[in-house]
Structure 1
Amino acid sequence: MSQAPARSLQIESSARLSGRVTVPGDKSISHRSLMLSSLAVGESRIEGLLEGEDVLATAAAMRAMGATIERSEDGIWRVWGVGVGGLLQPAGALDMGNSGTSTRLLAGLVASHAITATFVGDASLSKRPMGRVIDPLSLMGAEFTSSPGGRLPMMVRGLCPAVPIEYTLPVASAQVKSAVLLAGLNTPGITRVIEPVPTRDHSERMLAGFGANLTVEASNRGRVISIHGEAELQPQQIVVPGDPSSAAFWAVAASIVPGSEVTIANVGLNPTRAGIFTALRMMGADITEVDPRTVGGEPVADLIVRHAALKAIDVPPDLAPSMIDEYPVLFVAAALAEGRTVARGAHELRVKESDRIAAMKDALQACGVTVEEFDDGLAITGSGGEPIPGGGTVASLLDHRIAMAMTVAGLVARRPITIDDVAPVATSYPVFFETLEQLAGRA
């Protein structure tokens, strides 16, 4: 998967945003639906799959390991799986592009199969640490050969049968948890993951939905997730809800652009993912949930978001796991709020597609916003609802969320904001800019 050519874009302030949008399918659920469908025996159908570059990298990798994956003209994806334990040796390296989720979760799958896979990625992904999955998967018997610092390119030699383990997460990471659980699928015995701080639970929900013998219990050590190995997964029909991470950009944009009212349809509101909406409401955002319902075991609703005067808050650190990908756009909301917003407890931002703490500090400062950096977050002095100065050039650092967050900032800037490269947006939201044009009435 070659890296897309850089594409700079200048963002100008916008009049009110208005309309109804449907955001792409949830990225986390899309990845997992392809992986587990590929391990079931029979045909699974997936509706609403996110067709961004990250998810397509997962689809390509599962095809390379034996699954048959096709997209119909009606937009429904059909997957014929190989069964747990049935993954085949890939003929070449697995190109993960920019997708850390694909890399870490697939490393878990490979770890308990008698195959060897080499993972490669783009320049951004190749800087991201993989030691956090190498450590527990090595305890299960997999062998790793990685680049210095536990980075890509990385070769994984799986062991079958692997060794079941009990593993306490040293950091709050749904990817590490999921990698160990996926390795446990093809491991005899019971594999346990203990998470002192709850993280997004899509893997647990979907594994149970496919028929894995999985339990979740509370203990004084945290949530204990146990999976019985050598599972037989049953094919499923999956409807992927809208991605709350993608919805967050429109929720913030509608909140800060005067006169706006935007309806965001079919948003997944899993409580382990919906922290951004909690934080925005604490700041005074006007967000109404309409038609709450359950789709495929996930809570879903339409959101109506209207412009509101935001006030600064101290963001509760315990919200971090449920909104870790949404901090960049929350920082933009803080830049328009009244007062000084402090967001700490988000160390994980340092090791995402970019160092998102440093990247957003530099981006906002370039546009005239007063920012203080901590090792685990930022303090941002807001404009009290007035447009920010703008006029800066922002480095997206191959990070889709930096590019989209600063696009939202550009909608309320006195002078245009230039983003050096918006091509990475295609990894998660291919029609982001077309949707913006529609909401702004320019389409």
Structure 2
Amino acid sequence: MSSTTNLDYKNASLKGTITIPGDKSISHRSVMFGSIAQGKTTVSGFLLGEDCLSTIDCFRRLGVEIHVEGTNVTILSPGMDNWEEPKEILYTGNSGTTTRLMLGILSGTTLHSVMTGDASIGKRPMRRVSDPLRLMGAKIAGRENGQYTPLAIQGTKLKAIDYTMPVASAQVKSAILLAGLRAEGTTVVREKEVSRDHTERMLQQFGASVEVENGVVSFKGGQQLQATHVNVPGDISSAAFFLVAGAIVPNSEVMMKNVGVNKTRAGIVEVLENMGADLSVEVEDDKGFEPTATLTIRTSDLKATTIEGNIIPRLIDEIPIIALLATQAEGTTIIRDAEELKVKETDRITAVVTELQKLGANIEATDDGMIIHGPTKLHGANLNSYGDHRIGMMSAIAALISTSPIEIDDTDCIAVSYPTFFDDVKQLLNS
């Protein structure tokens, strides 16, 4: 059952420090890698979002013992060779990461399994993953020749491939690399534009030998992962909503500690700096597998910018909130090369433009992005989240600067990545 939220934040200002929930991408992978490795893996800072809980549920159905206590997770795995064939369908919910990465993982087992997700997952393209996996010998069947869920996987022996990515996608890259763990030979993935590299980093954290150079990732199959401890930093994609809020809401200063600032993910920081935001980044740890920082943002005078090219993969999930940011900047902001937005939880180009226009924004869609003229005052309206957590949060942040109340349909979807989102808004308003 979906929910409708009415937001009226007259004369809002945001002050204080909040703790950003754990990184969604790293949380997913910590469970996956911990389940592949034999033994006990521990995770701290895990994101208790619905997507990541879907990953846990899938591996429990494969016979992996997983305990969750708050944001601490313990994985007791018999090892990939000793997984049980699932008796039930593996349900991945709204999680594209779970669905696509597990295709790669399951393809190299001896098990037969079936995966499906919610209505949104049923519309998301899967052949971008299943096709390269088939080149490795994977046996995958599904609607429209494996384009859509449900997907059936008959595990089999795989052979390594040398694959050039047609589009930047960490999910596709990761699925191939994870299949490569069980493949004969050396798996090579070549990227024209580097996508997020959490899989490469975590392979090394779990003891694998991986070579990464100039957009080329390669490693030999047959390597055994070693159980370890994973510390999950705060999610920069979630922090982005409060980075933008702090910049556009009058009289605001917001601090966030322990936020992941992996260079393949931190494009939002670069955009804010290019737009003249009053932002400070204090690096906390750049020696571990994932660098972290304390981010402090203050109300800012913003100028327009152009966002294109190789920065797009480093901020693809942040474009909805960047579009809102641009409505408050002086001049015309152009976002291009972002066709990938059309195959996210919804068509995010259409969704962002439609909803921001309802608020009075001067914004138009293009084939590969959008054009935003600013600054404009925003007013109230009834908005639709489209069941997309990032559209829902963008709408809620817009309410902080709207001249009248905003009503948002289906805000339950926000729990996919940020279950405590409204609690953190309330905390900053009351500080």
Shorter-chain TM range is over 0.9
Instruction: Tell me whether 1:360 sits opposite 2:352 in the alignment.
Output: yes
Partner of 1:438: 427
From 79, 95, 98, the counterpart of 1:102: 98
Per-residue deviation, 1:300: 0.4
Maintained 8 Å contact 1:268/1:299: yes
Task: Give the corresponding residue for 2:21.
Answer: 24
SS in 1 for 2:57: helix
Question: Does structure 1 residue 429 correspond to structure 2 residue 426?
Answer: no
Matched with 1:69 is: 66
For residues 200-231 of structure 1, the C-alpha deviation after alignment (integer angstroms, 9 at most, x for no partner) is 0000000011011211122xxxx221121111
Task: Write out per-residue CA displacement over residues 337-388 of structure 1, whole angstroms, 9 at most, x where no aligned residue.
Answer: 11111111111100000100000010001111111111110001122xx631
Rounded to whole Å, the distance in 2 between the matches of 1:286 and 1:146 is 49
Cα pair distance change 1:117/1:233, threshold 3 Å? same
Q: Would the aligned equivalents of 1:168 and 1:193 in 2 still touch at CA under 8 Å?
A: yes
Residue from 282, 286, 291 that aligns with 1:290:
282
Residue range with higher mean Cα deviation, 146-155 or 260-269:
146-155
Kept in 2: contact 1:208–1:214 (CA 8 A): yes
Partner of 2:407: 418
Spell out, residue by residue over 1:309-331, the C-alpha distance to the aligned partner (whole angstroms, 9 max, x if none).
Answer: 11111113321000000000000
Distance 1:190 1:85, change over 3 A: farther
Amino acid at match of 1:126: G
The match for 1:134 among 107, 130, 133 is 130
What is the Cα deviation at residue 188 of structure 1? 2.1
1:34 aligns with 2:26: no
Partner of 1:259: 251
Moved more, 410-419 or 429-438: 410-419
Partner SS, residue 336 of structure 1: coil
Write the letter of the residue equivalent to 2:69. S
Which one-letter code corresponds to 1:112 in the other structure?
A: G
Tell me the C-alpha RMSD between the 2 structures. 1.4
The separation in 2 between residues aligned to 1:82 and 1:126, in whole angstroms, is 31
The answer to whether the Cα contact below 8 Å between 1:84 and 1:231 also exists between their aligned partners in 2 is: no
AA aligned opposite 2:312: A
Residue 286 of structure 1: how far off its partner (Å): 1.0
Task: Determine if contact 1:239/1:296 at 8 Å carries over to the other structure.
Answer: no
Give the C-alpha shift of residue 11 in structure 1: 2.1
- What is the deviation of 1:120? 1.2
Classify the secondary structure of the residue corresponding to 1:97: coil
Give the 3-state SS of the residue equivalent to 2:183 in structure 1: coil
CA gap of 1:355–1:295, structure 2 versus 1, over 3 A, is farther
What is the 5 A alignment of 1:170-181? 170-181=166-177
* Kept in 1: contact 2:361–2:377 (CA 8 A): no
Does the 8 Å contact 1:48/1:239 carry over to 2?
A: yes
Gaps spanning 5+ residues in structure 1: where? none
Are residues 1:237 and 2:229 paired? yes
The secondary structure found in structure 2 opposite 1:80 is: strand
Does residue 329 of the first structure (1) align with residue 329 of the second (2)? Answer: no
Equivalent AA in structure 1 for residue 111 of structure 2:
I
Q: CA deviation at 1:274?
A: 0.1
What is the distance in 1 between the residues matched to 2:24 and 2:342? 20
For 1:146-165, what aligned pairs fall within 5 Å after superposition? 146-148=142-144, 150-159=147-156, 161-165=157-161
Indicate yes or no: 2:82 matched with 1:93.
no
Could you state the TM-score of these two structures normalised by the residue count of structure 1?
Answer: 0.94
Cα separation, 1, equivalents of 2:362 and 2:297: 27
Aligned residues: 429
1:85, CA displacement in angstroms?
Answer: 3.4
The one of 202, 205, 208 equivalent to 2:204 is 208
For 2:288 and 2:392, the matched residues in 1 are separated by 31
Note the residue ranges of structure 2 that are not aligned, 5 or more in a row: none
Cα shift readout 1:132-157 (whole Å, capped 9, x = no counterpart): 00111111111222123711111122
**CA shift in 2, pair 1:357/1:297, >3 Å:** same
CA contact (8 A) 2:194 2:310 kept: no
Other-structure match for 2:216: 224
- Could you say what secondary structure the match of 1:394 adopts? strand
